[in-house]
């Protein structure tokens, strides 16, 4: 049997330095050729809904990274992926916790109740066109006791995490129910990301053949 010939793969850029987003891409067989984390103002606009906020921030990250891409000739023909994940209770957008106090406030708010996670993906094609998707997941945490909250805070997993928790870490034991994409909650909805890339002609399955 003749082996499948190798397929020329365009370069792929991730507009993030997040280890979890990078790991999710690698899970799908997507290797980032460059990381271009975007430094933007992530302050929500007054009255902005969580859905609109997630979509806007993903687009702004993508636009900022695209400007950096333009300064690097070797990345000129690359595909660029940016994403943002938002944890919300009703219309309230929870912060990406930077202090123990912020994380504790988030956990006490999430205790025993349902919340939503919105994960937006923005794809910038080599020609500069943008394609976007927004994914919503509903989650419910168990009622958390003070000892459980203190124990989780002591792990430090909450630092920089939307809603003050990382579902792929120890906070997974708090999860009673999830309706929607688990990978979206972690930080990058794989089905939607791969669909966007494939729709623009990126050979997403080529690395799978190379494993045979």
Q: Which of 31, 33, 39, 84 is catalytic?
A: 84
Buried b (16+ CB within 10 A) or exposed e, 104-131: bebbebbeeeebbbbbbbbbbbbeeeee
Q: Does residue 3 lie within any of the structural domains?
A: no
Per-residue pLDDT tens, the chain, 212 aa: give them: 444 545 578 999 999 999 999 999 999 999 999 999 988 999 999 999 999 999 999 999 999 999 999 999 999 899 999 999 999 999 999 999 999 999 999 999 999 999 999 999 999 999 999 999 999 999 999 999 999 999 999 999 999 999 999 999 999 999 999 999 999 999 999 999 999 999 999 999 888 887 65
CATH number at residue 100: 3.90.950.10
Q: Does residue 5 lie within any of the structural domains?
A: no
Q: Does residue 4 lie within any of the structural domains?
A: no
Q: Is 84 a catalytic residue?
A: yes
For the entire predicted model, the pTM comes to 0.91
Q: Does residue 1 lie within any of the structural domains?
A: no
Q: Does residue 63 lie within any of the structural domains?
A: yes
Number of domains within the chain = 1
Q: Does residue 44 lie within any of the structural domains?
A: yes
Domain that holds residue 174: 12-210
Report whether 85 contacts 184 (CB < 8 A). Answer: yes
Q: Does residue 6 lie within any of the structural domains?
A: no
């Amino acid at each position: 049997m003749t082996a499948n010939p190798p397929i020329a793969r365009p370069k792929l850029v991730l507009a993030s330095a997040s280890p979890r987003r990078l790991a999710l891409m690698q899970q799908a067989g997507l290797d980032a050729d460059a990381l271009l984390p975007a430094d933007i103002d992530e302050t929500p606009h007054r009255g902005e809904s969580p859905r609109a906020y997630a979509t806007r921030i993903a687009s702004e990250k993508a636009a900022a990274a695209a400007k950096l891409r333009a300064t690097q000739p070797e990345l000129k023909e690359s595909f660029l992926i940016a994403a943002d994940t938002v944890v919300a209770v009703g219309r309230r957008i929870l912060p990406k916790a930077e202090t123990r106090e912020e994380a504790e406030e988030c956990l006490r708010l999430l205790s025993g109740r349902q919340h939503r996670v919105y994960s937006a993906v923005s794809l910038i094609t080599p020609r500069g066109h943008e394609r976007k998707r927004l994914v919503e997941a509903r989650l419910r945490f168990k009622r958390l006791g003070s000892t459980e909250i203190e124990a989780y805070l002591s792990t430090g997993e909450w630092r920089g995490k939307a809603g003050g928790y990382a579902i792929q870490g120890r906070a997974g034991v708090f999860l009673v129910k999830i309706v929607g994409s688990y990978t979206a909650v972690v930080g990058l909805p794989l089905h939607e990301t791969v669909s966007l890339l494939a729709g623009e002609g990126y050979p997403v399955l080529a690395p799978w053949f190379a494993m045979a």
